[in-house]
Amino acid sequence: MALLELRNVSKNFGHYKAMDQVSFNVEAGRIVGLIGPNGAGKSTTMRAITGLMSYSSGDITFDNQPVTFSNHKALDKMGNLIEYPSIYPNLTALDHLKLYAMETKEAVNIPELMHQTGIDGDKFGKRKAKNFSLGMKQRLGIAISLVRNPKLVILDEPMNGLDPQSVHDVRELIRSLADKGVSFLISSHLLDELQRLADDLVIINQGKIIKTATMEEFLQNGQTQILIKTNDNQALLALAQKYDWQAHRDGDRVIINKVEGMTVQDVLAKVTEAKLEVKTINTAEENLEEHLLNLLKDDKKEEA
Ligand SMILES: Nc1ncnc2c1ncn2[C@@H]1O[C@H](COP(=O)(O)OP(=O)(O)OP(=O)(O)O)[C@@H](O)[C@H]1O
């Protein structure tokens, strides 16, 4: 059985279905990315999983126990950083961890936790929270989410507002914890980051799961793209339209999604046949962001 299982979970706000028959699993030791556009239902899903919000129907099981709004016992082994944890301006990181550790019956190894999360005792551990950078606050938030020695940690936008160094540090932290067997469910709009971090993906749109896959499977299904710069990109776009190739402008070049059964040479032949002068031509694999955008476009088309 998976560590976390959602089966046909729905959440209605009045007539609005913020979660519509949502089903997916999080397996032990995996980092799962939950992605989708604004308002797709990511936070609602995370809040239902962590017992912060009731759900209308379906089942959520974590560590073989049902999770409901009233059964918080099931959540003893789940950490989360969904709403900002209460951070007190005049307390240090160490004070915070001691405070949160008091809420759990288990013995908490605070020095180890500080070491794990890179909360260096001298520089950061002893400084008052009012002087923390956003990156420090985020690290402390993650450290707090780990106090109960959780099997699963739910992080809603953990990289939000962080500078590149802090994003890198948080990514390394999550990866090192996952290597020790902790599972993660992470939502993020920073898809490049998620592409580097997540093992599995769950894609949600308008409250419905539209795809679940490992990152590898997801990217394998992505298309190869042909990146061409010619002397007349406008004419190239018109040519793409004529042959029904999916194409768009990207700076001073045009990106064409490779059509099934057509080689790069075939595309090049048509372009030169049209008397366009090719200045550069390259191929690239579609990345997570592009593949997601195409998937969402297809989802919209199906709906129409
Ligand atoms: N308490 C609430 N009452 C009514 N509608 C709500 C409530 N909470 C969320 N919604 C609606 O449910 C939908 C899903 O919201 P949710 O916050 O889960 O989306 P999200 O995927 O996390 O979006 P974002 O990426 O913008 O944070 C939205 O249309 C939102 O307006």
Q: Which atom of ligand 1 is nearest to the CA of 207?
A: 14
CATH number, domain of 279, equals 3.30.70.100
Judge whether 304 lies within some domain.
Answer: no
Domain presence at residue 126: yes
CB-ligand 1 contact for 43 (6 Å cutoff) = yes
CA dihedral 129, 135, 138, 139 (to 10 degrees): -90
104 & 244 share domain: no
Nearest residue by C-alpha to atom 30 in ligand 1: 39
CATH number of the domain at 88, please: 3.40.50.300
In a shared domain, residues 233 and 209: no
253 domain-assigned: yes
Of 269, 186, 196, 258, give the one whose Cα is nearest residue 225.
258
Do 166 and 256 share a domain, yes or no?
no
Residue whose CA is closest, atom 24 of ligand 1?
A: 38
**Tokens at 206, concatenated:** 């308008």
Check whether residue 145 and residue 253 sit in a common domain.
no
Is 79 a pocket residue for ligand 1 (Cβ < 6 Å)?
no
Q: Are residues 156 and 45 in the same domain?
A: yes
Nearest CA to ligand 1 atom 9: 44
Q: Using CA positions, which residue lies closest to atom 17 of ligand 1?
A: 43
Q: Answer whether residue 123 is part of any domain.
A: yes
Q: How far apart are the CA of 124 and the centre of ligand 1, in A?
A: 35
Each residue of 22-61: pLDDT tens digit? 999 999 999 999 999 999 999 999 999 998 889 999 999 9
CA of 291 to the centre of ligand 1 (A): 24
275 and 206, same domain (yes or no): no
Domain that holds residue 260: 223-285
Instruction: Answer yes or no: do 29 and 174 share one domain.
Output: yes
**Chunked mean pLDDT (size 10), the chain, 304 residues:** 94 94 95 93 94 91 87 82 81 91 85 83 78 85 90 91 83 89 92 89 94 86 83 94 90 85 86 93 81 79 66
Number of domains in the chain: 2
- SS3 sequence of the chain: CCCEEEEEEEEEECCEEEEEEEEEEECCCCEEEEECCCCCCHHHHHHHHCCCCCCCEEEEEECCEECECCEHHHHHHEEEECCCCCCCCCCEHHHHHHHHHCCCCCCCCHHHHHHHCCCCHHHHHCCEHHHCCHHHHHHHHHHHHCCCCCCEEEEECCCCCCCHHHHHHHHHHHHHHHHCCCEEEEECCCHHHHHHHCCEEEEEECCEEEEEEEHHHHHHCCCEEEEEEECCHHHHHHHHHHCCCCEEEECCEEEEECCCCCCHHHHHHHHHHCCCCEEEEEEEECCHHHHHHHHHHHHHHHHC
pLDDT of residue 85: 66
Among 9, 34, 42, 189, which is best to mutate for testing ligand 1, by the most ligand atoms less than 8 A from CB? 42
What confidence score (pLDDT) does residue 84 get?
A: 67
Cα gap 146→278, rounded to integer Å: 55
Q: Is 47 in the pocket of ligand 1 (CB under 6 A)?
A: no
| Ligand 1 atom with the shortest distance to the CA of 41 | 18
Query: Given ligand 1 and candidates 9, 10, 12, 13, which is best to mutate, with the most ligand atoms within 8 Å of its CB?
Result: 13
Strands 183-187 and 31-35: parallel
Q: What is the distance in A from the centroid of ligand 1 to the CA of 27?
A: 26
Asked if 204 and 266 sit in the same domain, the reply is no
In a domain, 280, yes or no: yes
Does residue 234 share a domain with residue 211?
A: no
**Looking at ligand 1, which residue's alpha carbon is closest to its atom 3?**
13
- Output the pLDDT for position 33: 96
Residue 142 and residue 35 share a domain: yes
pLDDT of 176-192, one tens digit each? 889 988 999 999 888 88
**In terms of domains, do 14 and 83 share one?**
yes
Same domain, 89 and 163: yes
For residue 13 and ligand 1, the question of a CB distance below 6 A is answered with: yes
- 281 in any annotated domain: yes
Atom 12 (ligand 1): residue with closest C-alpha?
A: 18
